Amino acid sequence: MTRTLIEIYNDRVAEGLLTPDAAQTAALPELERVRHEMSHRAAAPPRAGGLRGLFSKPADPEPVRGLYLWGGVGRGKSMLMDLFFEAARTPRKRRVHFHAFMQEIHAGLHEARKRKVSDAILPVAEEVIAHVDLLCFDEMQISDIADAMIVGRLFEQLFKAGVVVVTTSNRVPDDLYKNGLQRELFLPFIDMIKTRMVVHELVTDKDYRQDRLSGSPVYFTPNDHSAREAIQSVWDDLSGGDAPPLVLTVKARPVEIPAFRNGVARAGFFDLCGVPLGPADYLAIAETAKVLILTDIPCLGRSNFNEAKRFVTLIDALYEAKVKLICSAAAEPEMLYLEGEGTFEFERTASRLREMQAADWGASQD
């Protein structure tokens, strides 16, 4: 007999793997509803054969309403999605970060336009529909006008084909693409979400991600074996270990985060500062990641001036976005940049690096 999500959750609480949380428990029935209804739909008998089947048209099943699960950072949305996706018995299912999905869509649109397709959305939507019945998104957010202008028509096709969408988000649907350009064209998509998905808020003041970091150091120096072990331990705790890269598209250029899972990004200093990235790229990273683990920050100066300038820009973006920074470095912030042009300007960066080590840094982030 198949166990329900509530039973699976309670088992993990009993094993000490999860901490019981009333807000998480309140979200489980909606996730279980989606799972149950999809299983029931998949098990529906086919049309009868013979003359009876030829002249009888089966009633179309009621569409399964998906779920839009939203709430603040660190409330357990990704953990609940883990439970749901693992337990979903739908064979054709896919889980993907929303940013990565939209990049795939843009790539598909580009190929369709090269073929002079009259409506590029249709073949792109058909490609998605051909492979999935259940589409699970991590962290739906719309900040790019290009995404805002296509999601409505894309999701209209997905919903029409019966694709069920379950997504997490840090924002209530009405705040998606808030204050964006031509937002009035985006509003029908918000209405579509409310019609085709149940909107459920995870109401809790508990921030589990912040709690896991509470009291733990986040700036490791010197950058030795001990620091590398500590960084790995933090990464394993926050992400579960292995994680795929995430490629963002910024002004039609790819920006790769080497590892990304559940809002936690991991990269080496030279991955982000040793390549020609600019303010828009770092803003996109800061918008996407809630926590950045940055390893192997070297001493800075004349020999790596360009990398140092990019590092300053990266820290500014993380600071303004209240992203939690965990890093390993060759020296304390005030000792990272001691010679060459830019030492005076780096004093602000050192101050910010020091401030970002506070236990409550990023706790108030939406």
Threshold 0.75, pTM exceeds: no
Whether 191 shows a pLDDT value over 80: the answer reads: yes
What is the model's pLDDT at position 366? 41
More confidently predicted of 253 and 259: 259
Please name every residue paired with 68 in a beta bridge, in sequence order, or none if there are none. Answer: 167, 199
CA 286/CA 317 separation, integer angstroms: 6
Closest among 312, 310, 308, 268 to 292, alpha carbons compared: 268
Is it the case that residue 241 has pLDDT exceeding 80? no
State the sign of the Cα–Cα–Cα–Cα dihedral 307, 312, 318, 320. Answer: negative
pLDDT of residue 203: 81
Structural Rg of the chain based on CA atoms: 23
Which of helix, strand or coil describes residue 167? Answer: strand
d(CA 93, CA 38): 11
pLDDT, tens digit, for every residue of 261-271? 878 899 999 99
Cα–Cα separations (whole angstroms), residue 107 to 24, 100, 128, 137, 252:
36, 11, 13, 18, 10
pLDDT band at 273 (very low <50, low <70, confident <90, very high): very high
Q: What is the pLDDT of residue 302?
A: 84
Number of neighbouring beta carbons within 10 Å of residue 156: 16
Query: Which pLDDT value is given to residue 93?
Result: 95
Amino acid (1-letter code) at residue 45: P
- Residue 169, SS3? strand
